[in-house]
Amino acid sequence: MTSISTPLVDARRIVVKVGSSLVTNEGRGVDPQAVGNWCRQLATLAQQGREMVMVSSGAIAEGMRRLGWVSRPVQLHELQAAAAVGQMGLAQMYESQLSMHGMRSAQVLLTHADLADRERYLNARSTLLTLLSLRSVPVINENDTVVTDEIKFGDNDTLGALVANLIEADALIILTDQAGLYSEDPRSNPDAELLRSAVAGDADLERMAGGAGSAIGRGGMITKVLAAKRAARSGANTVIAWGREPDVLIRLARGEAIGTLLTAATAKVAARKQWMADHLQLRGAVVVDAGASEKLVAAGKSLLPVGVITVEGGFHRGDVVAVRDERGREIARGLANYSASETRIIARKPSSQIEALLGYSNGPELIHRDNLVLA
């Protein structure tokens, strides 16, 4: 056993992604023993105070088993039907296995469109963070019953990375049917060496993964390398490891070197700040009073509507807005929970009045501290 001080030792929020071949025992249907082992490990880590999210493939393969289909269909409507049937078994398995260890599960079905739209992005983020605060394990899958072009092998690798970005996870663990990333395809070259660690986004990694047109690429390793690159944008480190390694999640979390570790070049806080500062256009601004300014800068608090003096621009919910003090100096920027017109209504008002004033509430904060970076 090799133990090192890997970044996963201190990881508090972890996204785990498992592929179809592992979940369904090479397409035979959901594997109770495999899912049970992962759920036991998820529960153990959750009981240690970590927040665990599972991104699980397998719905189509399980649906095919339930429908008695021997070969994978090619028609989109048949794939979607298989996913709809199989999702029932997939959710049931995670629910029953996690409940055996005193944990609740929650099914969350997403499409890439959910994470591309501002408001749906915030809704998905809020839902997942609320589930984690309630000590539930979100089990996430692509919503294959409604998508038109995302049903393809390896897509949940990308989804796992997007979820890691969405909730600002510390780590993404991709469990696969290989021991990790090799210098060459180990199935054709027995002398291929397992890569123990590298920096996510290194161009050589994509070459090692075989590229999109190679046999190993079609097997999904290229999507895992690209997922690690995407996860690193929000500061998450990625591990690619064999999913049937005994207690793989627990051992990774305590610092054991298993599989391939791809580290993020940018720290999580810096990555978030860079994303806010450089990649999103400001849509407006709010001017806050001295009390709100002090709480933001000195105490790291969220921005509440009561501290807002004036509102500038025509921003929508989910837009990035600047936060300025009374002298006009930008002190922070973040994602607004309310539009400019709504903010004008609730400005200078206590959060307890938001629902009465607007008819609904997206939360007590105008900008939550998790969605805010100081200038």
User: What are the distances in angstroms from CA 176 to CA 17, 58, 172, 208, 223?
Assistant: 9, 13, 13, 16, 12
With 0-12 / 13-18 / 19 or more C-beta atoms within 10 angstroms meaning exposed / middle / buried, residue 5 is exposed
pTM of the model: 0.79
Measured in whole angstroms, the distance separating CA 73 from the mean position of its chain's CA atoms is: 29
- CB atoms closer than 10 angstroms to residue 145: 18
Determine the 3-state secondary structure of 269 from DSSP.
helix
Candidates 181, 238, 243; CA nearest to 24 is 243
CB of 189 closer than 8 Å to CB of 164: no
Burial (CB count within 10 angstroms: exposed 0-12, middle 13-18, buried 19+), residue 215: exposed
Q: How many CB atoms lie within 10 A of CB 208?
A: 22
Helix (H, G, I), strand (E, B) or coil at 309: strand
Tens of pLDDT, residue by residue, the chain (375 residues):
444 446 799 999 999 999 888 998 887 789 999 999 999 999 999 999 999 999 998 898 899 999 999 888 888 889 899 999 999 999 999 999 999 999 999 999 998 777 767 778 888 988 999 999 999 999 999 887 776 654 443 468 989 998 998 898 999 999 998 899 988 877 778 888 999 999 998 988 887 786 543 333 334 788 899 999 989 988 899 999 999 999 999 999 999 999 999 999 877 766 666 656 544 568 899 999 999 999 999 999 999 999 999 999 999 998 889 999 999 999 998 989 999 999 999 999 999 999 999 999 999 999 998 888 887
β-bridge partners, 237: 171
* Longest CA pairwise span in the chain (Å): 69
Cα–Cα distance measured from residue 262 to residue 272, given in angstroms and rounded to the nearest whole number: 19
* CATH superfamily, with its number, for domain 280-374: PUA domain (2.30.130.10)
Give, in words, the CATH class of 7-271: alpha beta
Interacting residues of 294 by C-beta distance below 8 A, sequence separation 6+: none
Under the phi-then-psi rule, with left for phi > 0, alpha for psi from -120 to 50, and beta for the rest, what region is 244?
Answer: alpha
What are the structure tokens assigned to 20, written together? 């179809």
Cβ atoms of 170 and 14 closer than 8 Å: yes
Domain definitions of the chain by residue range = 7-271, 280-374
